[in-house]
């Protein structure tokens, strides 16, 4: 497994980072942009707190969103599985030939 790792330079909360990974460059930039936005949103609301604390709060917010989406996905897949297990509710056509 010799996967090529790309190095991508991104800016998050005013600091530059070189991110190495096998993912698409645009995808990495999208992720970094999301983290940057969440950090700026927190900084705007929280006022004067350290960037480390902002990063922790951003991580918690992003993790919360992820867990909620996972729960929503699980509920939807459980609902779909239940519907697929139910017998088809087909009304038999009345036999009018009698």
Token pair 């330079």 is found at: 9
**How many alpha carbons fall within 13 Å on the CB side of residue 55?**
8
Q: Tell me the three state secondary structure of residue 24.
A: coil
pLDDT for the residue 92: 59
pLDDT for the residue 93: 63
- What DSSP element (H or E) covers 53? helix 51-85
User: In Å, what is the CA distance from 25 to each residue of 17, 38, 55, 84?
Assistant: 14, 20, 22, 39
Under the banding of pLDDT at 50, 70 and 90, the label for residue 6 is: confident
What number of other Cβ atoms are within 10 A of residue 58's Cβ? 23
Token pair 């989406």 is found at: 69
Q: What is the pLDDT of residues 14-68, one digit of tens each?
A: 999 999 988 899 999 999 999 999 999 999 999 899 999 999 999 999 999 999 9
């Amino acid at each position: 497994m010799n996967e090529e790792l790309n190095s991508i330079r991104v800016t998050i909360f005013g600091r530059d980072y070189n991110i190495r990974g096998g993912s698409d460059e645009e995808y990495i930039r999208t992720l970094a942009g999301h983290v940057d936005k969440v950090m700026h949103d927190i900084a705007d609301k929280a006022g004067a707190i350290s960037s480390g604390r902002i990063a922790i709060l951003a991580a918690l917010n992003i993790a919360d969103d992820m867990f909620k989406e996972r729960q929503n996905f699980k509920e939807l897949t459980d609902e779909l599985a239940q519907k697929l297990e139910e017998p088809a509710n087909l009304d038999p056509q009345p036999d009018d030939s009698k």
